[in-house]
Homo-oligomer: A and B are copies of this chain.
Amino acid sequence: MRDAYLIGAGQSDYGSFPGESYRSLFRTAFENACDSVPDGIETEDVDEAVVGTLGVGGRQLGLPGPAVTEHVGLHGIPVTRVENACAASGYSVRQGVQAIRSGMADVVLASGVEIMTDVSGDAVRYWLGVSGETEWERLSGTTFAGVYAQMASRHMQEYGTTREQLSHVAVKNHENGAKNPHAQLGFECSLEDAMDAPTVADPLNLYHCCPTTDGAAAVLLASEDVVENYTDDPIRVAGVGAGSDRVGLFQRDTYTAVPASQYAADRAYEMAGYGPDDLDFAEVHDCFAIAELMAYSDLGLCDPEEAGEFVASGKTKRDGEMPVNTSGGLKSKGHPIGATGAGQVVEAFKQLSGQAGERQLEDPQVGLTHNVGGSGGAAVVHVFERGMGGDAA
């Protein structure tokens, strides 16, 4: 099958934008993605689009795909809306890769968009609630923070993980986000700030939780047959993996891992022929601090009992042995549900093409993105490598 290549990626600012619509944010992301293609691209070159969105607030619950692609002049092409909760646009990218490998498209826009801050906190809780397990978790009053708090409690009991270690996730990700001009919470925080914040769902406090966010992200993929029209510095989609699980945490066998992430990572590594040791960086789904620690072990970066120390020791800082969430992650960069997965790929593109500005890593060759839907009902992992393939590891 034909390989797919990442030729461009861009995002809107992440934040709260009362003056923007989902269409205007999408347009910004699309234009930034087009501008990032080294040798340029025309709108007419795009022959398929995938749009990830949950539709928080209900403004265009059906057909949001063409509603945004028409707005940027992508007329008549196949457009599909994909939704897997917070992993919506990670799955958009996966579907874009399948479209190219299938031979049915040569250039695909894989994207996501969400507006969350123009509805009340109660409405946000409703919309996130119906992306978790609706019948038992939401109707019993459990929030996403509550679900992840259960995971954190169990992780503490089982592995001795501490609040201080959880707080190091926030410190690291804010340090990175402070260097990302698109970040919603682009400021640094001290360990004391992160330790002393108000409790949200014990043991998780405000600094252990990502914000609600407006934003959009767009990724441009091209087939091996046309990639040279767009760039002399291709980035290959080396591996793609996805996995599913029971939607409700209470239905699963473990509270200290996300099995869907493990399935996704195993499949992505197998397809890529790479393992965790080959990675130069990873963007992982840190909707809550505990989620980043579980991602470390689910992706094979360390064992679960080492996860707390893995971050506290600085190994996942930008100058550590395995930089994680150089973008600032969901915690600092922000988490516009449907845009998050594609937004992670934007960071992978920037790092691998040397455009990450103040947070640029030194010549990275292989990077991973990891996007989780709900509390782990779905997960998707991509492995990207510089070059046409086979020589980067």
Instruction: Determine if A76 and B245 form an interchain contact, defined as CB atoms under 8 angstroms apart.
Output: yes
Find residues 44-90 in chain A having any chain B CB closer than 8 Å to their own CB.
49, 54-55, 58-63, 65-67, 69-70, 74-85
Q: Which of A63, A75, A246 has the most CB of B within 10 A?
A: A63
* Chain A 95-138 interface residues, beta-carbon cutoff 8 Å to B: 95, 97-104, 127-128, 130-135
A218 within 8 A of B: no
| Contact indicator B260/A374 (Cβ below 8 Å) | no
A240 interface hit (Cβ, 8 Å): yes
A91 contacts across to B, CB distance below 8 A = 80
CB contacts (< 8 Å) of A77 on chain B: these are 243-244
User: Given A244-B69, A259-B76: A83 and B62 within 8 A (CB)?
Assistant: yes
Check: A284 CB closer than 8 A to any chain B CB.
Answer: no
Complex interface: chain B residues within 8 A of A94 (CB)? 78, 80
Q: Are A373 and B247 in contact (CB under 8 A)?
A: no
Q: Residue A83 contacts which of B81, B134, B259, B377 (CB distance < 8 angstroms)?
A: B81
Residue A219 interfacial (CB < 8 Å): no
CA distance A77 to B59 in the complex (A): 31
Out of B54, B62, B247, B271, name the residue touching A132 (CB < 8 Å): B62
A81 touches B80 (CB 8 A): no
Measured CB to CB, the closest approach of chain B to A139, in angstroms, equals 11
Assess the B76–A378 pair: CB atoms within 8 A: no
Contact check: which of B2, B65, B104, B130 meets A240 at CB < 8 Å? B104
Residues of B within 8 A of A374 (CB): 62-63
List the number of copies, as a whole number.
Answer: 2
A26 at the interface (CB under 8 A from B): no
A39–B327 CA distance with the chains assembled, in angstroms = 51
Per-residue contact bits, chain A 121-159, to B (CB 8 Å; 1 contact, 0 not): 000000110111111000000000000000000000000
Chain B positions within 8 Å of A82 at CB level: 80-83
Q: Which residues on B sit within 8 Å (CB–CB) of A81?
A: 82-84
Nearest to A260 among chain B residues (CB) is: B76
Alpha-carbon distance between A380 and B48 when the two chains are bound, in angstroms:
13
Per the bound structure, the CA–CA distance linking A263 and B74 in Å amounts to 13
Alpha-carbon separation in the docked complex, A358 to B133 (Å): 42
Per the bound structure, the CA–CA distance linking A100 and B102 in Å amounts to: 8
Find out whether the CB atom of A78 lies under 8 angstroms from the CB atom of B127. Answer: no
Q: Which of B84, B102, B133, B240 contacts A98 (CB 8 A)?
A: B102
A363: shortest Cβ distance to chain B, in Å?
Answer: 30
A70-B246 contact, Cβ under 8 Å, with A1-B1, A62-B131: yes
Docked-complex contact A378 and B65, CB < 8 angstroms: yes
A263 (CB) vs chain B CBs: closest residue: B76
Is A244 a contact partner of B78 (Cβ separation < 8 A)? yes
Check B101–A378 contact: CB distance below 8 A.
no
| Residues A78 and B243 in contact, CB atoms below 8 Å apart | yes
Asked if B103 and A1 sit within 8 Å, CB to CB, the answer is: yes
CB atoms of A66 and B377 under 8 A apart: yes
| Residue-wise interface mask of A (245-278) relative to B, using a CB-CB cutoff of 8 A (1 in contact, 0 not) | 1110001000000011001100100010000000
A335 CB, min distance to chain B CBs, angstroms: 14
- Within the complex, what minimum Cβ distance (angstroms) separates A25 from chain B? 16
Residues of B within 8 A of A132 (CB): 62-63
User: A243's closest neighbor in chain B, by CB?
Assistant: B76
Q: Which has the most chain B C-beta neighbours within 10 Å: A1, A66, A81, A245?
A: A66
Q: Which A-B residue pairs are the 8 nearest by beta carbons?
A: A62-B131, A78-B242, A101-B102, A1-B103, A62-B85, A61-B130, A79-B244, A98-B102
